[in-house]
Amino acid sequence: MEVEKNAALPFLDVLVERKPDDTLGHRVYRKPTHTDRYLNAQSQQHPAQKQGIINTLIHRARIISEPRHLAEELEHLRTALRGNGYRARNIERANRRRHTPIERQEYLATTYLPYVKGCKDKIGRLFKKRNINTVFRTVRKVAAASPKTCNNDQLQGPGVYSIPCSCGKVYIGQTGRHINTRLKENKSHLKNNNTVNLSEANMVVRERRFGPRLYREALEIYRNPNNFNRDSGVDLPGIWKRVIRESSNINNAYEVTHRNIMDQ
């Protein structure tokens, strides 16, 4: 239970205030630990997402703050947004704009692309002309800084796997059975070959479905050109290869492409 302090009680984003005449006032509430840190204007994000930060904060201020607190709240936002690198003209343009409900447009399809400035926004405009919605995602995520690890328990299942070689190359494979079972078969074929270390085999992804598993294997082979596979797997559409090549972070672009496969 939380009781009021100084005749005020926070509820979600609203600070409800009890006035001397027993009526209730309201303003935007921020926790004491709030740092006014928002998506930085210099980050590698689509401009619409950064403008959306400004629009949302100003719209929230208008619908939560009563008239006597609105000017103070808007000035606070100006200072906070400038501290995050946003230009004053963009802030004022959003401030002058009045919020109107947006009619949802029906699209034939939706595609997800990693945002690369000067490239993917042009692709998005081409898709929009053909009534295809484009959702841009960041190509840099915290998860990308942490390598994936697998143990023997994680090798119990179907999917795509990789086997490193002391020569510096890697073998990419896929199986619909337990990967451990497939590795035992590989071990019998490599009795006289000590360069391939099966104990360091890694599950790239767990996947039971045959089609997505083949495409994931082909994508892994493509993103690891230093392999000793006999073939490159199924043929990949050129646009997938281009996304991987042009992305500044190939791992995240690859994950986005794989999610597109999963959605089909």
| 202 domain-assigned | yes
In this structure, are 155 and 75 located in the same domain?
Answer: no
Mean pLDDT score across all residues of the chain:
79
Domain count, the chain: 2
Q: Which domain holds residue 156?
A: 142-263
Instruction: Round the CA-based radius of gyration of the chain to a whole number and report it.
Output: 26
Mean pLDDT value across residues 125-135: 81
Confidence of residue 28 (pLDDT cuts 50, 70, 90): very high
Query: Max CA-CA distance within the chain?
Result: 90
Residue 148 has pLDDT above 60, yes or no: no
Structure confidence by residue, pLDDT tens digits, 36-93? 999 898 887 888 888 888 998 999 999 999 998 999 999 999 999 999 999 888 888 8
Phi, psi of 166 (to 5 degrees): -65, -15
Mean pLDDT value across residues 195-209: 79
Residue 23 has pLDDT above 80, yes or no: yes
Q: Tell me the C-alpha to C-alpha distance, in Å, between residue 253 and each of 136, 139, 201, 243.
A: 11, 6, 23, 7
pTM summary value: 0.48
Mean pLDDT value across residues 5-21: 89
In this structure, are 87 and 146 located in the same domain?
Answer: no
What tokens does 66 get?
């009563």
Across the strands, what pairs with 137? 114
| 116 domain-assigned | no
**What is the percent of the chain with per-residue pLDDT over 70, rounded to a whole number?**
77
| 128 domain-assigned | no
| Residue that wins the pLDDT comparison between 29 and 149 | 29
Residue 194 has pLDDT above 50, yes or no: yes
